[in-house]
A and B are shown apart, each in its own frame.
Chain A
Amino acid sequence: MRDARGVNRPEAHSDRMGISAGVWVILGLALVSSGWILAHPRGAPSGMQLWTYARTHTLNYAPIVADWNRRQADPDRRIELSLIGPGPLRHRLMSGFMSRTPTADLIEIERSMAGEFFAGPVEAVGFLDLTDRIRAAGIDEAINAPSFSPWTSRGRIFGLPHDVHPVLLGYRADIVEDAGIDVSRIETWADFARVLGPLIRDLDGDGRPDRYLLNYWYTNKDTTEVLLLQAGGGYFDEAGHVIVDSPVNARVLATLVTWVCGPGRIALDAPEFTASGNQLRLQGNVVCSLMPDWLCGVWRNDLPGLAGKIKIMPLPAWEPGGRRVSVWGGTMLGIARDSPHIETAWEFAQELYLSADMAESLYRTAGIVSPVRRLWSLPCYDEPQPYFCRQAPGRTYLAHAPYVPRRTSSPFNEMAKEHLQEALIELRGYALDHGVNTEAELLPEAQRLLARAAQNVRRTVARNVFHREDQP
């Protein structure tokens, strides 16, 4: 045999076999590694799995899970707690439920994920229908009623509510009180703009205002939803009909546009969970924020510089005598329908979610108030907190908890939210293009844009054969 330079060389043994030595090495490695894997099978995890997506939840549940495990003689009743990021959790659950492959026995999900799991036929929902168990145990009476709404689909309840998440208004007491402003004069959003208006300032002398009254921006779907729900608006009514184009929604959208542009602008974009947003809050560029209970815990951890400068007050209402609270976010604990440990999982779920220890610990670490009404008398909720100028925020939130708006669990919520937000963005564009600055002038265009949004939502809903089949 000749090599490339035409020099004779002896024929290699592997060439005579028809396969090169490298192939034999690769084949050998493949066989050895496959054999090793087969000889060391990973056993199925013993006991039950609990998946959650929030670090604060994990920290609070760990002692309760440890205590439960200590009391269990049967290893099958023990629980392994896992923290999984919201994105991966959603994808693992979705693929697990759809393919009927194992997930966890107990799973916590966030409200924005819920609709996806309720999108198919009701019998294909991956969570166990807990309706009868909840009623039999009297839990439907024990828990604040609006907290069930995000986890109820077509009349069936698929999870235990973890929270209420009332939204009130957090304000910079140092700035407001230095200016001699009495917030008790504020009842409505119109009062809010009028009474706090003098606080809008150019802080750096460049001729542009740098300080605004409210952390709100028209691109933020969550805060828009908070304000819509407070006003009595939303996307679907309790019967599942599209109400995107309701007069309430149109009015709210028209008002929100006047908040973000034109001479009546009162809002600034200082997004939560971002360094830039936190910097604006610390610098005092924004006076007030929509403040769910969970945000109290976040601020205490992330913004220690605001300690002793923040107070909580009810949200200004949309009209005199109107609702002074809204709702933002939420978590449920569900049981996988295919879990082999349904009874034990249900037992543990009740112990975890109805526990006074867990409620107290969750409040102290994360600021979250319990949805269990008998626990509202816990003394921790009355303790004044230095961060909030010695107010007791827990008691303030609980006072408004029964009045939080109900929400629907429609699988089309996120899509409807998207279409409504599009309408808001286009309405702002219209206001800027036409120099229109008042709610009354914006209202007809708001109605037109919302009618189009509602038509798009209805078209998508109508395309879903599963929901058509489930309609009576």
Chain B
Amino acid sequence: MNAATGRADMRTGWSPYAFVAPFVLVFLVFTAYPTLQSIALSVQQTYGPQASRYVGLQNFVGLAHDPLFWKALTNTAVFAAGSIFIQLPCSLGLALLLNKPQVRGRAFFRLVFFSPSLVGMIFVAVIFSLIFEKRTGLLNVLLHRAFGFDPEFPWLEDYVMPALIIAALWMYVGFNMVYFLAALQNVSPDLVDASRVDGAGVWHRFRHVTIPAIRPVGTFIVLLSLVGSFQLFELPYLLLGEGGGPNNRGLTLVMYLYQTGFETGDLGYASAIGWVIAMLLGAAAIMQRAVARGGER
């Protein structure tokens, strides 16, 4: 090995580390350190860095007795259920429909259904606040004129979670449809034809041919929806205001974390909420993996 080759090897040896170094640095400073710091904060009560007191597990005990936390958790779970059991079936249905070669203008409809996800969240919130308004809102006005529906129907008072699920459905159904459309390309046409020849009906072909083929993508979308639902913040915050709407009916876990940490300045309690969210998501991911593996077997 001559000297020039040795220098080149050294450069080659160091260069991967040089390339990953910026990421590692940013990760350590902005992810690893705050994560560790949040563990320390979760056992303190703070008012900024100058005023903090060690309180042990008092923050977690407080959460267990905090009705607002339980309300936020329930709301988040309801929204997650709405995402998984309403939004995803709708996305799959649209994908199946728009995957049929005999549907004319498929590309146009795919664009139409996907386009709401291109709209900024702030505009979605403004649009739906106008739609759900009492008396003057589009939905109530139309329903009142068509069916004599109560013009004061309180969407954003008594039916906050359904209103949020509807708004999210409009926004994300097309987005998830694109994933399912991609997954449907994995369905072997030969297998479909063979099952048809064997006498399988529409349902059996869907159940035994389509579902197994799209299962990996479906599992991924369910996980993505679950994580997204547990991170729900912008839509209720913009649509209902900081408080999460009347009686906190739209308060989500992340909104509660934000309120506690950044509006009342109790970073310790907010860290405890953050860790509870992380544990819940971890548990949900493990369960979901287990269910998916069971299905594969």
Contacts and interface: CB of A to CB of B under 8 A. Distances in A.
Contacts of B2: none
B45 to A, nearest CB: 5
Contacts of A426: 247
Contact of B51 (A17, A120, A422): A120
B8 interface: yes
A418 interface: yes
Interface stretch (A94-102, A297-305, A387-395): A94-102
A116 B11 contact: no
B67 interface: yes
Interface stretch (B25-33, B73-81, B129-137, B208-216): B129-137
B contact residues, range: 35 or more
Contacts of B11: 17-18
A421 B148 contact: no
A279 interface: yes
A110 interface: no
B48 A124 contact: yes
Given A425-B247, A465-B55, A99 B65 contact: no
Nearest to A98: B48
Given A94-B265, A116-B264, A411-B264, A124 B47 contact: yes
B51 A466 contact: yes
Contacts of A90: 263
A208 interface: yes
Interface in A256-297: 269, 275-276, 279-280, 285
Given A18-B15, A206-B148, A208-B151, A119 B8 contact: no
Contact of B247 (A206, A279, A280, A422): A422
Nearest to A276: B136
A466 B45 contact: yes
Interface string A413-424: 001001001100
B136 A279 contact: yes
Given A91-B262, A280-B135, A219 B246 contact: yes
Which bracket fits the contact residues of A? 35 or more
B101 interface: no
Given A18-B8, A426-B247, A465-B53, A276 B133 contact: yes
Interface string A447-466: 00000000010011001111
A17 to B, nearest CB: 8
A456 B67 contact: yes
Contacts of B49: 98-99
A465 B266 CA distance: 11
Contacts of B266: 119
B134 A418 contact: no
Which of B49, B65, B136, B150 has the most chain A CB atoms inside 10 A of its CB? B136
A85 interface: no
Contacts of B152: 269
Interface in B87-141: 133-137
A19 interface: yes
A89 to B, nearest CB: 13
Contacts of B133: 276
B265 A116 contact: yes
Contact of A459 (B12, B50, B65): B65
A212 to B, nearest CB: 11
Interface string B1-25: 0000000100110010000000000
Nearest to B53: A465
A459 B152 CA distance: 37
A121 interface: yes
Contact of B248 (A19, A121, A422): A422
B137 to A, nearest CB: 8
Nearest to B15: A18
B256 to A, nearest CB: 11
Contacts of A421: 246-247
Given A98-B50, A466-B47, A119 B246 contact: no
Interface in B170-189: none
A251 B17 CA distance: 70
B265 A19 contact: no
Given A269-B134, A422-B247, A119 B45 contact: no
A119 B134 contact: no
B62 interface: yes
Interface in A424-472: 425-426, 456, 459-460, 463-466
A463 B53 CA distance: 12
Contacts of A206: 144, 148
Contact of A276 (B135, B148, B243): B135
B219 interface: no
B62 A124 contact: no
Contacts of A280: 135-136
B157 A219 contact: yes
B135 A98 contact: no
B58 interface: yes
Contacts of B246: 218-219, 421, 425
A219 B240 CA distance: 11
Interface in B226-251: 243, 246-248
The 7 closest A-B pairs by CB, nearest first: A98-B48, A120-B47, A18-B11, A219-B246, A276-B136, A425-B247, A124-B51
5 contacts: A94-B263, A206-B148, A269-B134, A276-B133, A280-B136
Given A16-B8, A119-B47, A280-B135, 9 more contacts: A98-B48, A116-B264, A124-B47, A124-B50, A219-B157, A276-B136, A418-B68, A422-B247, A465-B53
Interface of A: 16-19, 90-91, 94, 97-100, 116, 119-121, 124, 206, 208, 218-219, 221, 269, 275-276, 279-280, 285, 411, 415, 418, 421-422, 425-426, 456, 459-460, 463-466
